[in-house]
Amino acid sequence: MKLQDKVAVITGAASGMGREIALIYAKEGASVVVSDLNLEGAEATVQEIKNNGGNAVALKTNVALEDDIQQLIDKTIDTFGKVDILVNNAGIMDNMEPAADIEDKIWDRIFAVNTTSVMRSTRKVLPLFLEQQGGIIVNIASAGGLYGARAGAAYTASKHAVVGFTKNTGFMYADKGIRCNAIAPGAVITNIGASMTNINQYGAAKQQLGMAINPRAGSAEEIAKVALFLASDDSSFLNGTVITADGGWTAY
């Protein structure tokens, strides 16, 4: 198995891509910490892992809160004694607002969940990784972090920041046995749309123009397979890079 005896922390793992990443990591031998604000959903993911013979625990975490991220890693250490893999998957959408329509509270919320949480969780695990001279970080970015109009301005900016943070972290710690890479999914069938509260019609209409060239939507399972690749030794020479997984959408 590709992740035998590894300990993986996955945020936003109650549903969607995070859930599928948790399932495939456990199948490949990892002990998994299923982290999510939705504790009931996280516990359901854990139960499925256990039903399949895997090892996992659920932890309720609001990644927008620094104390919650601190507790997430501390409880992982208390439970499993180490962290080998961190997957920063938790994320929310904006409402497709262009710059003129952004409200500070929306901007701040998007960045707190999508970007600041990635920095804080990375900052928390790096001393552990440095001590054990190894560790892997997988960030879930977005095609919206590579191009300009896959979402609104706030989400787009937040995911561009994740891409830059990934590259910087990968380079800075490359000689310490630490790898940090990201996945940029295109359109994937998940429930992230539930985080949208009041869609901006102008922004949505502009964003929709690009959907005409999208070959198809992907599945969460397809993204999870990329996350497995990045967490395993199969990707040992990949560091500080972003894998675009979008079915060819951005190839046009």
Residue 169 lies in a domain: yes
- Average of per-residue pLDDT across 219-240: 98
Please tell me the predicted confidence (pLDDT) of residue 193: 76
**In this predicted model, what pLDDT tens digit does every residue of 91-149 receive, in sequence order?**
999 999 999 999 999 999 999 999 999 999 999 999 999 999 999 999 999 999 999 99
- Please state the rounded mean pLDDT for residues 221-242: 98
Tell me if 134 is assigned to some domain: yes
**What is the residue-averaged pLDDT of the chain?**
97
24 falls within a domain: yes
Within-domain flag for 227: yes
Across residues 13-42, what is the average pLDDT? Answer: 98
pLDDT band, very low/low/confident/very high, at 222 (cuts 50, 70, 90): very high
Q: Beta partners for 180? A: 137
The answer to whether residue 192 is domain-embedded is: yes
25 among known catalytic residues: no
1 within a domain of the structure (yes/no): no
pLDDT 10s digits, 169-203: 999 999 999 999 999 999 999 887 777 888 999 99
At 243 the pLDDT is 98
Q: Considering the candidates 155, 173, 202, 252, report the single residue annotated as catalytic.
A: 155
CATH number at residue 150: 3.40.50.720
- Domain count for the chain: 1
Q: Is residue 92 part of a domain?
A: yes
Average pLDDT value for residue range 74-92: 98
Q: Token pair for residue 120?
A: 């804080």
DSSP per-residue codes, the chain: -TTTT-EEEEESTTSHHHHHHHHHHHHTT-EEEEEES-HHHHHHHHHHHHHTT-EEEEEE--TTSHHHHHHHHHHHHHHHS---EEEE----------GGG--HHHHHHHHIIIIIHHHHHHHHHHHHHHHHT-EEEEEE--GGGTSS-SS-HHHHHHHHHHHHHHHHHHHHTGGGTEEEEEEEE-SB-SSGGGG--S--HHHHHHHHGGGGG----B-HHHHHHHHHHHHSGGGTT--S-EEEESTTGGG-
> CA 32 to CA 47: how far, in whole Å?
12
For residue 61, is it within any domain?
yes
**What range does the domain containing 37 cover?**
7-251
Per-residue model confidence (pLDDT) at position 194: 75
Q: What percent of the chain has pLDDT over 70?
A: 100
Rounded Cα–Cα distance for residues 90 and 64 (Å): 10
Q: What is the pLDDT of residue 195?
A: 78
